[in-house]
Structure 1
Amino acid sequence: MQHKISINGIGSISALGTSSRTVWDTYKKGQPLFHKKALQDDIRPVWVSEITSEATSELLKLQQKNTSYSKLDRSVLLAMLATNNAIGSYDFQNKNVAINIGSSRGATGLFEKYHTDYLTNKQVSAYTSPTTTLGNISSWVAQELGVESLHIDHSVTCSTAMHALLNGIAWLQSEMADVFIAGGSESALTPFTLAQMQALKLYSNLAHDFACESMRFQKKKNTMVLGEAAGVAVLERGVSDASMAVIEGFGFASETLEHGSSISKNADCFQRSMKRALDKAELETVDVVILHAPGTVKGDMAEKNAIENVFEARLPLLTSNKWMLGHTFAASGMMSIEMGIHMLQHNSFIENPFYANARHLPKELKTIMINAVGFGGNAVSIILSKP
């Protein structure tokens, strides 16, 4: 039997803020959230987006709550904070709760620290191995919540959170769980990670603060900006008064790669994932598509080509959030899910300043598609509707 799957809670930690109200107010302001930061003395400052000062205070309080938390990587702590925001006062009593929160890079900050210690001193802390494994994130979220059932982590690079959402759908449909907490967390603002992006020639060198030109399809240079964030959703079977959005359709696909970071000219993986999501939802079009659009020349254009090929004359309104927030890797898909839920709840469309939609805003936003793709061509498309 197929069940309706609803999102009954959503929470995040990012440059947008911590509370639902703050996140929405920041979206409505429509300003990029970047600043220049020098990550190392001998490296010139680069554009990044970091969590707010309020979120930093919450993170410090969390570390002080438990002596073990002070030894955890920042990505783990962000996931714990985002999960607490998502569940609020939710009562898990007598429910089988599963957790799947992944990361693209994992414990980047701690790993680099411990590796530097090893190169310098030829020895490492006893905490090195247990605190740098990817499984840290969901397992410590489970410790914080007191959940003793399934908690797993994975990495599908930039589509990690969306694959966690797919896992949630499968687990709930099979009745292997009553509640599924899905998400992604990333805190990779480190010299080594930035050097990797710059080696790929993806990073923005623009002088102005609109540094990530996500969906500026005329650009000639890559403009990716890296951000830190965690985003988490609480999924359950059925539709109730607690439901914030219903998952009407989902699709996923991959494609044959020409290069480890490439995507085909017309994003074949996105075409298949979007078509499958539309078929699952029994729809021909949606009101809005929130693009993955990382701000790269090829990535942005390939996704636009795919959308035009799939929707043709039924082209929806198009937007993205990376021009504000930057690319938060594993968390990016869930940050877009959160944006979509806010737009449905407030019946309000967040424009992208680099793209002028030809279509007018409908009187009511009813359906929104969210796209995400990671290195390896792993695309996911999710369609949300109002409950």
Structure 2
Amino acid sequence: MAALDKARARTDTRGHTPRFDVAVTGLGLITPAGIGVEANWERVCSGVSAAAADPTLGGGPVRISCRVPGFDPMELLGRENAWRLDRFVQLAMVAARQAVDDAGLDRGTWDGARVGVVLGNSLGGTGTFEQQHRRLVDHGPQRVSPLLIPMSMMNMVSGYVAIDLGARGPNLVTATACASGATAIGIARELLRSHACDIVIAGASESALSPTVMAGLNQMGALSGRQDDPLRASRPFDADRDGFVAAEGAGVLVLERVEDARARGARIRANISGYGSSADAYHATAPDPSGVGVSQAVNAALDDAGLGASDVAHINAHGTSTKLNDETEAKVVHRLFGENPAVTSTKGVTGHTLGAAGAIEAAYTVLAVERGTVPPTANLTKADDVVRIDVVRDRARTRRIEVATSNSFGFGGHNAVLVVTAA
């Protein structure tokens, strides 16, 4: 623990206050890898993709996706919530309940005014909006549901979760595209640092596997063309990658100040010790091939944590399985870290959960640190020549991990990086 002890004792390079660790005391995961933390961890460590044919997409050019298996909102949330909430809110609500229970917190007795909610999302209730638009076209405006707006608005994911949990503290939604979840966790950490609240429910959700969204992603060339081979379609860092498989899911973390968590005898899975963000300011959808913005976010996160690149043993890469992203990210990782960190992209298993990705992958990074295990990157059979980093493949790797980073990048040039350290 020498690297962590030194970092905790020193100030950052700007001479500001010592590093601020936030304890992760609870996790909730609802993803294509499964419902619950253990189901998720078993699946991502197996390296078997969750992609499958998706008959709900109507048989168009996009026929595959990664959906959450066996998710029954009626059973998990009851009739009222199943009826009045869009699926992206349903996923978040179940994940948030899991996380709170995992943290050993009692929603009935906590001081709700001191509990904040910060959740990320990028596209809102697209399924509800498309359904209601069809009703408008087919039957006229009088048949449009009065619930259309509260079901489809992005901010309702944090609003409804707060209602469900009785959390009356700061309530925010972050929208930095596929970096939204990581951004939410970074902002949640600042709320704890400022003592605006004592507990923050942080993470993200997305369920935008609607025909229109999928058609749009396909038209821009973001999706894999392996429509007849879904299990092998998502292949981060592989020489034959050709795009991602779109997915849905939710990841939620319960965050507390370390001293508060210890005082109540909570289990601390790991700490969030640094956060960095930046903008490429380059292109609407393509990453800056120079990687300047990504490097800036990584360095800011490490600086915030009072750590250096040599301290990092594991990186959960953004690793989308697209040509440009994986090449740029691999170049930046090699330039900053060399070949020391064990790198993985769990999107090989889960697909790309869009706005939820950063939160889900932050949770996987917490588990990797806690359990000393790096999941493999699914479908990596032949690494691209430009990928000169140590990408874990074939099977999970056991490794002591004191420091890890989780990378998230989004359309619009949003970059967000989290530093996760051992408790």
SS at match of 2:404: strand
SS at match of 2:174: coil
After TM superposition, give the deviation of residue 44 of structure 1 in Å: 4.5
The corresponding residue for 1:346 is 371
Structure 1 pair 119–83 and aligned structure 2 pair: CA distance change class (3 A): same
CA contact (8 A) 1:103 1:134 kept: yes
Counterpart AA for 1:212: S
Q: Deviations over 1:79-102 (max 9, x none)?
A: 000001111141251360010112
Distance 1:149 1:69 in 2: 25
Structure 1 pair 111–275 and aligned structure 2 pair: CA distance change class (3 A): same
Counterpart AA for 1:213: R
The corresponding residue for 1:318 is 343
1:71 aligns with 2:91: no
TM-score under structure 1 normalisation?
0.92
SS at match of 1:342: helix
Structure 1 pair 379–41 and aligned structure 2 pair: CA distance change class (3 A): closer
Of 245, 266, 269, which residue of structure 2 is paired with 1:244? Answer: 269
1:230 aligns with 2:244: no
Q: Deviations over 1:1-21 (max 9, x none)?
A: 664211111111012112222
1:37 aligns with 2:54: yes
Structure 2 matches for 1:307-386, cutoff 5 A? 307-312=333-338, 315-353=340-378, 354=380, 355=383, 358=390, 363-386=399-422
After TM superposition, give the deviation of residue 371 of structure 1 in Å: 0.1
The corresponding residue for 1:12 is 29
TM-score under structure 2 normalisation?
0.85
Of 57, 60, 75, which residue of structure 2 is paired with 1:61? Answer: 75
1:111 aligns with 2:96: no
Distance 2:422 2:233 in 1: 33
Aligned Cα root-mean-square deviation (Å): 2.0
Distance 2:56 2:413 in 1: 30
Gaps of at least 5 residues in structure 1 are none
Gaps of at least 5 residues in structure 2 are 1-16
Distance 1:41 1:17 in 2: 24
Q: Deviations over 1:60-118 (max 9, x none)?
A: 224425x2541210000000000011111412513600101121111111011111211
Aligned identity (percent) is 23
1:166 aligns with 2:186: yes
The corresponding residue for 1:287 is 313
Distance 2:100 2:326 in 1: 34
1:27 aligns with 2:44: yes
SS at match of 1:39: helix
After TM superposition, give the deviation of residue 311 of structure 1 in Å: 1.9
Distance 2:342 2:64 in 1: 28
Distance 1:190 1:68 in 2: 20
Structure 2 matches for 1:178-217, cutoff 5 A? 178-206=198-226, 207-208=228-229, 209-216=231-238
CA contact (8 A) 1:47 1:204 kept: no
Q: Report how many aligned residue pairs link the two structures.
A: 379
